Amino acid sequence: MWRFIGFRFLQAIPVILAVITVTFFLVRAAPGGPFDQEKAVSDQVRAALEARYQLDLPMHEQYFSYLEDLFRGDMGPSFYYPGRTVNDLIFQGLPITAELGFYALVIALVIGCLAGVLAALKPNTAQDYVPMSVAMIGICMPSFLLGPLLVLIFGIWLDLLPVSGWGNSAGDKILPSITLGAMTAAYIARLSRSGMLEVLNQDYMRTARAKGLPEYVVVIKHALRGGLLPVVSYLGPAFAALLSGSFVVETVFQIPGLGRFYIQAAFNRDYTMILGTTVFLSTLIVFFNLLSDIVAAWLNPRLRYQFRK
């Protein structure tokens, strides 16, 4: 097992390195210099700025010095906000985004798995159709539509919940978490339904019933593990989906998280910030993909056995 984990880690390194390289050169190759908007800057000031950001060095030296900084955990100063570093901004936004993402993931897992398993236990009945129809709505209702609609209904028309901010007023975390978790919940519901259906049709379910086990033991002990394995494998992609979803949700609900910073950086052409956030988020996503792969492999006795040897 450790060999498998080590192997997958080694595999992740070139991916992250490639992400850094591609992002770096893409950003540097962007048409129009980073200071184009600021017309009033004199040549002298511009030269000073460029020196500070090491823009006067040849491209490859910039790249290597950036890599070097990165290894020390320094992502450089922000282009747009004078006096602030990218590290500052990321670690200011990260806890908020992480909290939001965590709530959303919990909502998605609990609701998604519950709906999917219940649907699979009684296929082609109301117990199947109702949750699956809701899941279908979830898939066709993107967060940038669901969020505003929830705000409109619960925030403005019914005046039940606050419509913006994070941790400033009671209940202001509810709507963003639901908005972000909804689509992932819908995907997980569909995945767990089809996973459970497949397992429930296996011969070994009949064996379990023929032993005289009560139905709940059959489902919980014999079906859940295999049936929910696709959900575990999906957690990596789900994490990536939640992150990109946070761009929208944090914008809609005006939450000062990492996602909103990223979108603002994109608009402000805050190049170091874009570069730093991209590298940071990509590493995070690659890491979570890795984690979900490892957990899925660990849950599969056959794979576990192969790597033990």
Partner 1 sequence: MTSESGSIGSINTALEMPRGTSLWEDGWHRLRKNKLAMFGFFYLLLLILICLVTPWIAPYGYEEQNLRLGAVPPTAEHWLGTDTFGRDMLTRILYGGRISLMVGFIATAVALVIGVTYGAIAGYAGGKIDNAMMRLVDIFYALPYMIFIILLMVVFGRNLLLLFLAIGAVEWLVMARIVRGQIQSLRQQEYVEAAISLGLSPLTIIFKHLMPNALGPVIVYTTLTIPNVMLLEAFLSFLGLGIQPPQSSWGVLISYGVETMEEYPWLLIFPGLALTTTLFALNFLGDGLRDALDPKASRD
Partner 2 sequence: MKLLQVQDLAVHFHTRNGIVEAVNGVSFDVEAGKTFAIIGESGSGKSVACYSMLGLVPMPPGRIESGKVLFQEQDLLGLSERALRKVRGKGISIIFQDPMTSLNPYLKIGDQLTEPLRQHFGMDKKTAWQKGTEILEEVGIQNAAARMNAWPFEFSGGMRQRVVIAMALVTEPEIIIADEPTTALDVTVQAQILRLLKELQQRRNIGVIFISHDLSVVSDIADEIAVMQNGKFVEQGDREAIFRNPQHDYTKMLLAAVPATQKKSDIVDAAPLVSLSNLVVEFPGGKGQEKIRAVDNVTLEIKPQEILGLVGESGSGKSTLGRAVLRLLTPTSGQVVFEEQDISEYSRSQMKPLRRRMQMIFQDPYSSLNPRMTVYDTLAEPLLLHKICNRKTLDAEVFALMDSVGLSRESVLRYPHEFSGGQRQRIAIGRAISTKPSFIVADEPVSALDVTIQSQILDLLLDLVNRFDLTMLFISHDLGVVRYLSDRIVVMKDGILVESGSVEAVFEHPTEDYTRALLDAIPGKRLFLDDAAESMEEGTIT
Residue 107: both structure tokens together: 């909502």
Whole-angstrom distance, CA of residue 166 vs CA of residue 183: 21
**DSSP 3-state of 257:** coil
Q: Should residue 158 be labelled a site residue for partner 1 when binding is judged by CB under 8 A?
A: no
Whole-angstrom distance, CA of residue 290 vs CA of residue 125: 37
Whole-angstrom distance, CA of residue 264 vs CA of residue 261: 5
Q: Should residue 301 be labelled a site residue for partner 2 when binding is judged by CB under 8 A?
A: yes
Whole-angstrom distance, CA of residue 121 vs CA of residue 113: 12
How many Cβ atoms sit within 10 Å of the Cβ of residue 237? 15
Rg of the chain (C-alpha set) = 24
The answer to whether the CB of 205 falls within 8 A of the CB of 199 is yes
**DSSP 3-state of 248:** helix
Number of H helices, E strands in the chain: 14, 0
- Among residues 75 and 248, whose Cβ is nearest to partner 1? 248
Answer with the entry of partner 1, partner 2, none that 225 interacts with (C-beta below 5 to 8 A by kind): partner 2
The answer to whether the CB of 205 falls within 8 A of the CB of 263 is no
Whole-angstrom distance, CA of residue 183 vs CA of residue 139: 5
Q: Contact with partner 1 (CB under 8 A): which of 20, 111, 161, 286?
A: 286
- Among residues 213 and 291, whose Cβ is nearest to partner 2? 213
DSSP 8-class letter at 233: H
Q: Which stretch binds partner 1 (CB under 8 A): 20-28, 89-97, 101-109, 296-304?
A: 20-28
Q: Contact with partner 1 (CB under 8 A): which of 69, 103, 114, 148?
A: 148
Q: Should residue 57 be labelled a site residue for partner 1 when binding is judged by CB under 8 A?
A: no
Q: Contact with partner 2 (CB under 8 A): which of 170, 214, 267, 309?
A: 214
Q: Should residue 209 be labelled a site residue for partner 2 when binding is judged by CB under 8 A?
A: yes
Q: Should residue 302 be labelled a site residue for partner 2 when binding is judged by CB under 8 A?
A: yes
Residues in region 262-281 near partner 1 by CB under 8 A: 262-263, 266-267, 269, 274, 278, 281
Answer with the entry of partner 1, partner 2, none that 204 interacts with (C-beta below 5 to 8 A by kind): partner 2
Identify the CA nearest to 198 among candidates 229, 235, 234: 229
Q: How many residues bind partner 2 (CB under 8 A)?
A: 22
What is the Cα 251 distance to its own chain's centre?
A: 16
What are the angstrom distances between the C-alpha of 190 and each of 19, 34, 242?
A: 32, 45, 17
DSSP 8-class letter at 170: T
Q: Should residue 127 be labelled a site residue for partner 2 when binding is judged by CB under 8 A?
A: no
- Among residues 41 and 121, whose Cβ is nearest to partner 2? 121
Q: Contact with partner 1 (CB under 8 A): which of 31, 73, 83, 301?
A: 31
Residues that bind partner 1 (CB under 8 A): 11-12, 14-15, 18-19, 23, 26-27, 29-31, 123-124, 136-137, 139-142, 144-145, 148-149, 151-152, 156, 194, 197-198, 201, 236, 240, 243-244, 247-248, 251-252, 262-263, 266-267, 269, 274, 278, 281-282, 285-286, 289
Residues that bind partner 2 (CB under 8 A): 202-204, 206-214, 217, 221-222, 225-226, 299-302, 305
